Every structure is written in structure tokens, then in C-alpha cells.
Amino acid sequence: MKFCKNMQRMAELADPEWAPFWVNYKMLKKIIKELPATINTTQRSSSSSVGNNNTLPDSPRKMGKTPGEITFFKLLHSELKKAIHFFAMASQEFIIREERIKEGIAILKQPTSILVNNRWSLIARSIYCFHKELLLLETYAIMTYCAFSKILKKHDKNTGYNTRIAFMAKVVNCANFTSYPSLLEMIMRSEKMYESVAGKLKEEGNSALYEDERLFINMIHRLNQQAVGTATAEGRKIPSTKREIIGGELTNEHDTGSMMGTNLRKMNLVEAHTVLKSLLEENEAYAADISSDDRSEENLTERIIQKSLKRKSDTVCDDRTPKKKSLQSQNY
């Protein structure tokens, strides 16, 4: 299944209000298709034009400022800002919801609380929805990171530039959705809250409801596993943020393996905190060449492109004048 369809499948499972905040992958792909393969074309023509100075490629600065490149990176920065804003707002909303659920559980546990039919079913549904949406926010973080990596890979393949590693390391990896320890901790707390009311559900005769919700959450775990698989395919083996931490399936207080699941969570939490941060952080030395005092979006993007173009154009020029290069090396 193509990545775009996979991401659409995830979006359909999530809250419809999240729809505008997923990366506009289709539009970015459309822009890439319209970009001229400048460097690839130049390299192909170089073999038939050796020694002809008129066929040298335009300067890196000119090629990096083509309308298509400007449009692509402007949209890329816009999508990144959108994702950062959404992830921050959603995380803050979940913090508030968690406090309200805790208050509700505390009230229901009081002996003076008003008796309501199926009262634990009501609070269990709230916890279930909360836990489910937390898992989907984790999915959003993984898929968003992969979207930026894959679209830059397509961009570089089509244009011949080499921008992905530097852009991911210096721009995307600074985003809040690439490392989310608070979210993972909240997921674990919500799971514990749900398990704490599981016994109450059975007392009310709603064990079937509990099992149905449990099955749906396990389905989200499997989808998250697929998302992690996509991330792994981008260049590095990484642990699943939930599957390996929990041990495969959701545990509850009645499971014999619940203690083992808890130990696994604690053991892998630090590793899971940086699960997305570790993606594609290869060749940091190349990205480190970018000046630290020139970090505006436009300048940073342009410098990444220019550095890529300079390397490519140097390679083309060297291929065209092998004898001259050889003479220069003899002088040294």
C-alpha cells in the first residue's frame, strides 16, 4: 500500500477535526512532479558537451531560486508549522481532559456519590475515547515525520539535489512531534485508568463492552506498528512506541503477564522517547556545515539547496575537465 493511502487510512480513523492538520502530501507530490530535473538533465548532457563552457549549469544560487523550488519549500515549511501547532494544541487539550477524567473517577469512588445506572460504563467510555485518541496522536506524530522524510526523498530523486538529510536534521528534528515523552507517559496513565475501572464494568455486567473497546484499541496498536514499519523503512531499525513497550497486547490487572508488561514499559521508555528523533539522523557532519547564525527558514532552506547544488555541479565540472584537474593535481 502506498504511503499516501496509508496516511489517509490513519486520518479516517482519527477525529474528523484533525483532517486539516495532516500533511498535504498530495499537493507536495504534485509540485515535485512539475519541478525540472535540473541536475540530472545537466549530467546527462555533460557527456555530449565536454569542453563546451556554454553548457555549464546555471549557478547553484539561480537553480535553488527557481519558482518551483521556492513554492515547494514554502509549502513544506507551512506544513511543518501546521503540524507543530496542532501537536502542541492537541497535547495541551489531552492534559486538561486527563485531569477531568481523574476528577470524575474520584467522585464516583466517593461513598456519598449519587448512584447512577451504569455509572462506571460512562466513565469507562470517556477513558476509552481518551486512550484511543492518545494512541492516534502518537500515530499522527509517526506518520507526519515519515511524510516529511519521504516527500524530501521524492524531491531529491526527481531534482538530483541532496536536501533531505540536512533538512530533516536541522529543521524537522527540531519539531515537537519528533520526541514526545509526555505523550507516552499519558498513554500509560490512561491505560492504567481504564484497567482500574475494568473490574467495575464487569460488576455492572458490561464485560462485553470492555472487550469490544479492547479489540478496537488493539487494532490501533497494529496500525501504529505498520506506521513504525514505514519509519523503519526510511533508514533505521527502531522500537515500536507501544508494541514492544507493552509486549504485544494490552495487559490488565487480571492478566498473569501484567507485571512483566509494566517492567517492559519502564525498561524501554527512554528508548521510546527518542523513537522518532533517531530516524534518519545520518551524516550529521554534512548538516553541521550549515552556519548556526543564519537559521531563518528561507536562508536555511536556500543554504541546504546551495550546498547540495555546489557538490553536484562540482562533480559535473570535474567530469567535463578531467585533464585540467589532473594537471592541477600534478602542480601540487
Confidence at residue 93, expressed as pLDDT on a 0 to 100 scale? 95
- Three-state helix/strand/coil letters over the chain: CCHHHHHHHHHHHCCHHHHHHCCCHHHHHHHHHHCCCHHHHHHHHHCCCCCCHHHCCCCHHHHHCCHHHHHHHHHHHHHHHHHHHHHHHHHHHHHHHHHHHHHHHHHHHCCCCCCCCCHHHHHHHHHHHHHHHHHHHHHHHHHHHHHHHHHHHHHHHHHCCCCHHHHHHHCHHHCHHHCCHHHHHHHHHHHHHHHHHHHHHHHCCCHHHHHHHHHHHHHHHHHHHHHHHHHHHCCCCCCCCCHHHHCCCCCCCCCCCHHHHHHHHHHHHHHHHCCCCCCCCCCHHHHHCCCCCCCCHHHHHHHHHHHHHHHHHHHHHHHHCHHHHHHHHHHC
Residuewise pLDDT in 10s, the chain (332 residues): 588 888 888 888 888 999 999 999 999 999 998 887 654 444 444 444 444 444 334 444 455 578 888 899 999 999 999 999 999 999 999 999 999 998 888 887 776 655 556 667 778 888 888 998 999 999 999 999 999 999 999 999 988 888 898 999 899 989 999 888 999 999 999 988 888 777 776 666 666 555 666 666 777 777 777 666 666 666 444 444 443 333 333 333 333 233 223 333 333 433 433 333 333 333 333 334 444 444 455 566 666 666 655 555 555 455 444 444 433 433 33
Give pLDDT, residue 85: 97
- Residue 176 is predicted with a pLDDT of 93
pLDDT at 98: 94
Would you kindly state where each structural domain of the chain is located, as residue ranges?
A: 3-43+55-324
